[in-house]
Amino acid sequence: MGKSLTEIAEELKGNDKKVQLIYAFNGTGKTRLSREFKNLIVPSETEDLEEGATRRKFLYYNAFTEDLFFWDNGLIENEEPKLKIQTNSFTDWLLKEHGLGRAVVENFQYYTDDKLTPDFNDDFSEITFYFARGNDESISNIKVSKGEESIFIWSIFYVLIQQVINELKITEDSEEERSTHQFDNLEYIFIDDPVSSLDENHLIQQAVDLADLIKESNKNKLGLRFIITTHNILFYNVLFNELKINKNKGGYLLSKNEDGSFNLDPKDGDSNKSFSYHLHLKEIIEKAIENQQVERFHFILLRNLYEKTANFLGYQQWSAILPEESRQNYFQRIINFTSHSTLSNEAFTEPTPQEKETVRLLLGHLVKNFNFFKDEKDKHES
């Protein structure tokens, strides 16, 4: 029998693991889970992120963190578009008191373009963006894409975590004093799907960088517990291996049942490590489709991809995740191309144009319906 998100949040709270890593499809309820968890740690009727009690025990990044930032497109006064920040101690402490705007900019440029430059105003209440050129000229009045905006906001949160860890590393025995005591009782950091429109290389680096922060916290025994949710299989896999979660059994799959209840099932060992192999298979098939070179063995790889995905998700038969319409026809085509043939001439039969199209359609189905290596995401879950 399934559980409510509140019950799952209570289960996460009762776990003493330093890291709990959760994989779930978009729309499953990751963002709502972060809200339920926040309400368990800091019961409150307000959703203000920088509430004093919240900042003392719980810090979280999710879709509502991004709501602290909004665009003023300057249409009325014909001004350049600005990304504005709602007044909050969250950014004031980081940018005004510690002057870490430069660190945010460098982090943002690392994941986007070193010429795309955010420019804070004097009181750090708004940001404009310009594109620097090598001849001392620049292109101003830029409104960055939604993906770039998300990366910028994540860069602020990432630098915040860095600074919080640095503060907590200062102990009573140290000659240095903490610049703030508002994080002295911090217990949990909940990160909901930080993956944005990153290419695979930067996505891997983002996961490694986050893992380094978590390992730094654990190494210094700061007592922080991290809960991370993601819809991205590659991001999950890198974190899983970087943090050696297989030794601590802190990996989970969050799924939603038809009756609206939820399951949180442990996902350990090879089911997580196989994600890198999934990526390799996907790239081979995509390249064949792009170059119009789909051959018989690509059906074998496609079936392998379906089998591994179905196995990870707990389906008994891989055919269960085929498109419902014409499921039997697709199943028969793949079986015909992947079964052992007793006729030598059949082994060299080239797929017809319709059969090659089947490979493209079925790979697209896997990507679209199971969020398989998708870069875009809908962070505002219902």
Residue 90, amino acid: F
Q: Which residue has the higher pLDDT, 155 or 376?
A: 155
Sole residue written with tokens 């081979």: 284
Q: Which of 269, 286, 321 is the last residue of a domain?
A: 269
Task: Tell whether the model's pLDDT for residue 47 goes beyond 60.
Answer: no
Q: State whether 229 and 85 are in the same domain.
A: yes
Please say which residue of 211, 235, 269 terminates a domain: 269
Residue 310 lies in a domain: yes
Same domain, 263 and 123: yes
Could you tell me the residue range of the domain that residue 65 belongs to?
Answer: 5-269
Give yes or no for a contact between 94 and 100, defined as CB atoms under 8 angstroms apart.
yes
Tokens 């269960």 belong to residue: 320
Distance CA 267, CA 273 (A): 10
| Structural domain total, the chain | 2
Q: Are 56 and 184 spatial neighbours (Cβ–Cβ below 8 Å)?
A: yes
For the segment 133-147, the average pLDDT, to the nearest whole number, is: 77
Clarify whether residues 230 and 302 are in a common domain: no
354 belongs to a structural domain: yes
Task: Report the CATH number that the domain containing residue 67 is assigned in CATH.
Answer: 3.40.50
Q: Does residue 83 share a domain with residue 66?
A: yes
Is residue 289 located within the same domain as residue 178? no
Question: Based on the domain organization, do 188 and 289 belong to the same domain?
Answer: no
Least confident of 83-87, 139-143, 172-176, 359-363: 172-176
Distances (CA, A) of 252 to 12, 201, 278: 11, 24, 18
* Same domain membership, residue 260 and residue 298: no
Domain-terminating residue out of 222, 241, 269: 269
CA distance to 111, 117, 147, 239, per residue, from 106 (Å): 9, 9, 17, 23
pTM over 0.85: no
pLDDT digits (tens, 9 = 90+) for 74-124: 655 557 889 999 988 778 889 998 999 999 999 999 888 889 999 999 999
